[in-house]
């Protein structure tokens, strides 16, 4: 699933193609991916200028010249790309928007866990703070109020917005924190290390264009490169890049979780 670095990379590669461009036509829309159901999305965006695009958590947020907004969530297998109208259309393409510079914005999603959400002038509701600007004291206060495993708490988008399975594992390894530790047991020193680790791994992943494990590509169709720098994620049985111990995989909260028992004991 695309997480914060992947979504940020999509936004950065979309920006020069869509900012200031006008929607000429919505060529195709799969209505069951639209929220709220039955909303007149085509009429709402036809002829409007795309004033900007930004990231909030794992959401790609488009602002129209009217000040209204909609966002696209890529789900597990979504791709949002800029294409030539003459390019072949992928089988699982669910949204095609013609822009006034002769290019198309296309959303494809084989598993259809993504969504297109009309926000209007509403805010993002209960989403937690952004991890790249999170203060260590806020992280400590949030994690110590829960009896859940720290890994599970980090994946809660109302707790902190944008972190997913890959980067939770990577940050916890860098901070030397076991993923099954209960949030309420975290110390201030550990929260400081974890806060630095979260910011560090997310920034490095953004610089690398994100992690392409399976489906992810940026808006230009290019794969990310951070998967080559993973220390624990998807490395079960391989040597830890810090201590050379063996990376272990467990299931935590229904998610595969990778860690080093020696570094994170």
Q: 90-145: per-residue pLDDT in tens?
A: 999 999 999 999 999 999 999 888 999 999 999 999 999 999 999 999 999 999 99
Full set of structural domains in the chain with CATH: 4-120 (3.20.190.10), 131-259 (1.10.8.50)
Q: How many CB atoms lie within 10 A of CB 124?
A: 15
Q: Tokens 């206060």 — which residue? A: 141
Torsion over CA of 242, 245, 248 and 253, rounded to 10 degrees?
Answer: -50
Pairing relationship of beta strands 59-64 and 49-56 according to DSSP bridges: antiparallel
Q: Report pTM.
A: 0.96
Active site residue 207: no
Share of the chain above pLDDT 90, in %: 97
Pairing relationship of beta strands 79-83 and 21-29 according to DSSP bridges: unpaired
Predicted local confidence at residue 214, as pLDDT: 85
Active site residue 199: no
Given a contact cutoff of 8 angstroms between Cβ atoms, the answer to whether 236 and 244 are in contact is: no
The dihedral built from the CA positions of residue 64, 53, 166 and 181, taken in this order, carries a sign that is negative
Question: Residue 215 above 90 pLDDT?
Answer: no
Catalytic residue among 2, 131, 136, 179: 2
Q: 51-61: per-residue pLDDT in tens?
A: 999 999 999 99
Question: Residue 192 above 90 pLDDT?
Answer: yes
Distance CA 195, CA 139 (A): 7
Instruction: Give the mean pLDDT of 220-249.
Output: 97
Catalytic residue among 30, 35, 255, 262: 255
Active site residue 54: no
Catalytic residue among 21, 55, 58, 142: 58
């Amino acid at each position: 699933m695309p997480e914060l670095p992947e979504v940020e990379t999509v936004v950065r590669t979309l920006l020069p193609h869509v900012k200031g461009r006008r929607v000429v036509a919505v060529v195709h829309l799969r209505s069951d991916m639209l929220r709220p159901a039955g909303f007149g999305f085509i009429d709402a965006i036809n002829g409007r200028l795309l004033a900007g695009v930004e990231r909030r958590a794992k959401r790609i947020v488009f602002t129209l010249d009217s000040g209204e907004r909609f966002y696209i969530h890529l789900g597990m297998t979504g791709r949002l790309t800029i294409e030539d109208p003459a390019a072949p259309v992928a089988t699982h393409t669910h949204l095609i928007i013609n822009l006034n510079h002769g290019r198309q914005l296309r959303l494809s999603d084989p598993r259809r866990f993504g969504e297109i959400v009309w926000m209007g002038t509403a805010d993002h509701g209960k989403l937690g703070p952004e991890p790249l600007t999170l203060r260590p004291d806020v992280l400590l206060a949030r994690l110590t109020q829960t009896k859940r495993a720290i890994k599970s708490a980090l994946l809660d988008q109302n707790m902190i917005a944008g972190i997913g399975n890959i980067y939770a594992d990577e940050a916890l390894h860098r901070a030397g924190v076991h993923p099954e530790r209960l949030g309420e047991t975290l110390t201030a020193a550990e929260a400081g290390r974890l806060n630095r680790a979260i910011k560090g791994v997310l920034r490095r992943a953004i610089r690398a264009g994100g992690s392409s494990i399976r489906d992810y590509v940026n808006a230009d169709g290019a794969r990310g490169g951070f998967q080559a720098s993973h220390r624990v994620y998807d490395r079960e049985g391989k040597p830890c890049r810090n201590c050379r111990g063996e990376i272990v995989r467990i299931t935590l909260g229904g998610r595969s979780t990778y860690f080093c028992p020696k570094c994170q004991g």
